[in-house]
Structures are given as C-alpha cells and as structure tokens.
Amino acid sequence: MVKQYKAARILVVDDDESIRKIIQIALRENGLVCFTASSGDEAITILSEETIDVVIADIHMPGMDGIELTKIVKDRYKSDVIVLTGFVQEFTYERVVEEGASDFIQKPVTIEELLVRIKRVLKERKLLSERNKAESELQNSYEQLQKAIKGIIHAMAVTVEIRDPYTAGHQKRVAALACAIAEELGLNADTIDGIRMAGAIHDHGKISVPAEILSKPGQLTRFEFGIIKTHPQVGYDILRNIEFPWPVDQMILQHHERLNGSGYPAGLSGKKILIEARIIAVADVLEAMANHRPYRPALGIEKALEEIKKNRDSIYDPDVVNACLKLLADGKFDFE
C-alpha cells in the first residue's frame, strides 16, 4: 500500500473464518489495521466502538446479510463499504452501489485486487474529506463576511440616525416591512437578505444634507427639498465601489424612482426599476407617512394605506402594494 494509506482501519465481515483470517493477515502485512467480524451484528458492535475507514462485507451471511449491513453502515457511520459475493448473478453492481456500497467484488478475489480496490476507496475517501473541509472553511469565511457586512451596515444606519433623530428607527422599520413584503411575494432568501441590507441604510445618503434642513420644522423650500432629493445619488456614490453580494448601491439609488417615471434621480419607469427598489419604495412611503416628521405630524397608517392603494399601477408596483396590504390585513406585520 502507498504510505499515505497505511494504518487505515479496515473491518472484514464474513461468516467464513478462513477467509477472514487470510484477508486479515494480508492486510496487516501491507500496513493496514484490520478488525474482523463473523456476522453483521458483530460488525455493528465493532463499528460502535472503533473508527473504521472501510468495511469489507460478504453478502451472504446468516442473519443480517451484507446488503442490510451496508444500509446500516451508511446510515449510522462514516465508513465506506466494499461488498464481496460469490453469487454475482443475484446482485448487479448498480444495485449494490445504490444501497450505499463504494465497490463490489466477485469471489474468489485475489489479495492484489482487494488491495487495489481498498486503495481506490481510501483515495476517494481522502478526496471527499478534503473537499468537505474546503467547503466548511468556505462556509465559515462566508459567514464571517456576512457578519462583517451586517456590522458595517448597522454602523452606517446608526450614523444617519444620530444626525437625523426624527427618523431614528425609520430605516430599521422600512427594512423589516420590505423584507416581509418580499417574503410575501415569494422572493428567495438571498434576495431578501439584500433587501434587508439596503433597507437598513437606504437613507444614508442624507449624511450630506445639512442637519438644519433634516430637522427643520414646517414646510421645506424647493431649494431645501432639492438638497434632500440628492440623497439617493449620494448614497449610491458612497457604496458603488463596494462589492456587496447584492446590488445594494442600485437599490438605494432607485428607492425614490416611481413606476410611471415621475421619481428621482433618474426618472426610471416600470421594470427598469429593480424589484428590490420597488419594494423598498412602498415600505418607505408607508412608514414615513404613518409617523411624525419635523415638517408635519404623523398622518397615520390609514392615510398611508390610502396613498399606496390610490397610486398602485401608476406610482407603486401593484404586486408589491397588494402583498403589503395582505400582510397588514392578515396581521402578519406590525411596525411595533
């Protein structure tokens, strides 16, 4: 055996003692650790006590046969199975492999052939282990990246809310409603995660708006409102060179666009607006109208609902509006 496979742990299961002994001696001579069992039940006992890499099992044995043993091994343990049989006409390779075996050898088998098969199974086992390890490390890296992104998003959201206390919690509530709408629409989990991130910082471009305008009581002038209208573009400019897993920059850029092209900053219309941005737009309007702003008192949820009902199909995406209305009517969402 190749050095890297030496000390691999093999379990030979056969009701014929002479076969067990011959195989055990040969495998030990080739540097493998070998256990033996005379039945499926005895094999299960050994498997529960020892770490076994490969089980070599005869098919025809009293009591539990090799096929049944293979199923149990694959269900409960992490061992591979090589099946031996002298009754090849009763068992096809495909059937045995379907039951979970890694290989199938017809008796009589030479030690040379058995060693070759064991080596192949051990090699595949090693490659699978390395692949699983790499996938696990990749998943861990992805999870760490997700945590970092969420931390950055949270910090950005807090920065905006410190400057604009009147909208404290606005972005968080918009993100929550937008995600609920997206879920109601049946969007996938990854898309919903992107909406959550963008929703949580959709107004962070307001960091460029003077604080006295953000907190000004009473009606804004056209000039002041013009400054506020720059916030989607500013938000986009801040984020455009950051490679998020989702189009967060575009969602933020487009969240004030309207279905009929009357929105800003680009006057996009219809399907040119991302579905994520169309969802955030409805959540944003509903939350903003329902709550207090420096320039007006809260209009309440009923007025907000009237707004999106009246303008679905023209300003707001009708599917998004309908999903939002259903959520609230069914009691599936509450801003509190």
CATH, residue 236: 1.10.3210.10
Give the pTM: 0.64
195 shares its domain with 254: yes
What pLDDT, on a 0 to 100 scale, did the predictor assign at position 243? 86
Instruction: Kindly give the parts of the chain with pLDDT less than 70.
Output: 1-6, 87-94, 165-168, 294-295, 335-336
* Final residue belonging to a domain, choices 83, 113, 134: 134
The answer to whether residue 143 is domain-embedded is no
pLDDT at 276: 98
pLDDT of residue 93: 64
**Residues of the chain by 3-state class (helix, strand, coil), percent to 5:** 60, 10, 30
Q: Do 92 and 186 have their domain in common?
A: no
- 88 and 9 in a common domain: yes
CATH number at residue 113: 3.40.50.2300
How many domains does the chain fold into? 2
What pLDDT does residue 336 have?
62
Report yes or no on 320 lying in a domain.
Answer: yes
Full residue range of the structural domain in which residue 256 is found: 164-329
Is the Cβ–Cβ distance between 195 and 251 less than 8 Å?
yes
Q: How many CA atoms lie within 13 A of 138 on its CB side?
A: 6
Task: Outline where DSSP puts E strands in the chain.
Answer: 9-13, 33-37, 54-58, 80-85, 103-106
